[in-house]
Amino acid sequence: MAKKITDDDLELLGALGVETEARKTGGLSARDQRIIAGFEEIGRFVQEHGRSPEHGESRDIFERLYAVRLDQIRKSGECRELLSSMDPHGLLLESPETSSNVVRDEPSDAELLEALGVDSGGDVTELVHVRSREEIKAAEEVAQRNPCEDFEVFQPVFEKVQRELISGLRQTLKYKDNAEVNVGDIFILDGQKALVAAKGELFTNYYGRPDSRLRVIFDNGTESDLLVRSLQRALNKDKASRRITEPELGPLFSSEEDEDDIPSGYIYVLRSKSEHPFVRQNRLVLHKIGVTGGDVKTRIANAKKDPTYLLADVEVVAIYKLAQINRKLLETLLHKFFGSSRLDLELKDRFGFEVTPREWFLAPYAVIEEAIGKLVDGSIGNYRYDPATAAIIPI
């Protein structure tokens, strides 16, 4: 008959959350019931994962706890006798160290907690440093990286970003806790550049929070398939993490025109000659801001037939020549800057269809000229347009 479990065994089982006070309930002591319940948890793990729980830092903390618990159960003759008829997976037979009823050289509480990734510097009954399951899963997810099989696609991007950092075209900013993460964003995490290459559909995670799956490429040729919240937590934890900015706008306008200089386009500012009551009343502060790659005069030749120009002739207030600049992006930037003062006016075109012009803004020309000046010196991102005072003010 198996030897009775020792006091040392009872202490270790107690540390593992097994009740050691023998109170009889329905033929089994409370301690026996807890041992059975703990063994059933291990059985559910095996049924779900198709294998026994294993030790190791890469494993979930609960799996590691199950592995420690199973080791101690296998080493206890009394536990094996109690559970022998409840072992459909053969877990009690897997360990060769089942001949002793006494657990020898068992780890101390501190060693056991340390093995489970828990800081045991204080009272072991108050586990104030235990990370949540969500935090542990996030950390493990970030740490798990695989070789990036199509890294040749991304390597030139990292090389270009590095050149632009050296030249000052890009900057690095301290990552703000839980800041938004989008496709194309580049971060520095644990000393490596990390590019967000893809972002999946939004879903609600186990904790009821919105999340998305990312494909993140690292500049060492690895990649990770992780969640937005996992990346955010890793960036929050790394005190040296940085966000790499987009390239700063270079000079927008050529300072002088050479004989072989081919402009990339023009910014033009127009004023309407329409006799519409609202337009007539606000004529001096109502302007169309546009960008074109062709001749401005040719573009506005048929203005009175085009609802884009308020079905009226226009006056050219100013033209600015552009060189080596993405015209569409520049136009979008200007329209966004003055978006709070966009004209809301519906007109009917020559076919009787209602149209709403989108490129007219209630802004004095002097303010538009000031905004273009801030585009030139690259400071426009520090300002906004206030339609109430018709002025550009710092953010």
Cα(375)–Cα(346) distance, rounded to whole angstroms? 31
pLDDT tens across 231-262, in order?
988 898 888 899 988 765 444 454 444 444 44
Lowest-confidence segment of 1-15, 177-191, 204-218 by average pLDDT: 1-15
pLDDT at 321: 80
pLDDT at 114: 53
Written as six digits, the tokens of 322 are: 């552009």
Cα(18)–Cα(35) distance, rounded to whole angstroms? 6
Residue length of the chain: 395
pLDDT at 23: 41
pLDDT of 188 higher than 70: yes
Q: What number is the average pLDDT over the span 19-25? A: 46
249 and 324 in contact (C-beta within 8 Å)? Answer: no
Cα(195)–Cα(193) distance, rounded to whole angstroms? 7
Average pLDDT across the chain, whole number = 76
CB crowding 11-35: b at 16 or more within 10 Å, else e: ebbebbebbbeeeeeeeebebbebb
- How many helices (H) and strands (E) would you count in the chain? 12, 19
pLDDT at 320: 82
pLDDT of 208 higher than 90: no
pLDDT at 55: 84
Residue boundaries of the structural domains of the chain: 7-129, 135-244, 265-394
Q: What number is the average pLDDT over the span 189-196? A: 91
Q: What number is the average pLDDT over the span 352-380? A: 82
pLDDT at 259: 44
**Which residues, other chains included, contact 23 with Cβ-Cβ below 8 Å and sequence gap of 6+?**
29, 30
pLDDT at 298: 87
At 325, the pLDDT band (50, 70, 90 cuts) reads low
pLDDT at 169: 67
Dihedral angle, C-alpha 7, 17, 127, 44, nearest 10 ° = 140
pLDDT of 103 higher than 80: no
At 196, the pLDDT band (50, 70, 90 cuts) reads very high
Cα(110)–Cα(124) distance, rounded to whole angstroms? 8
Give me the percent of the chain exceeding a pLDDT of 70.
71
pLDDT at 7: 57
Cα(162)–Cα(168) distance, rounded to whole angstroms? 10
pLDDT tens across 23-62, in order?
444 567 878 888 888 888 898 888 888 888 888 777 777 7
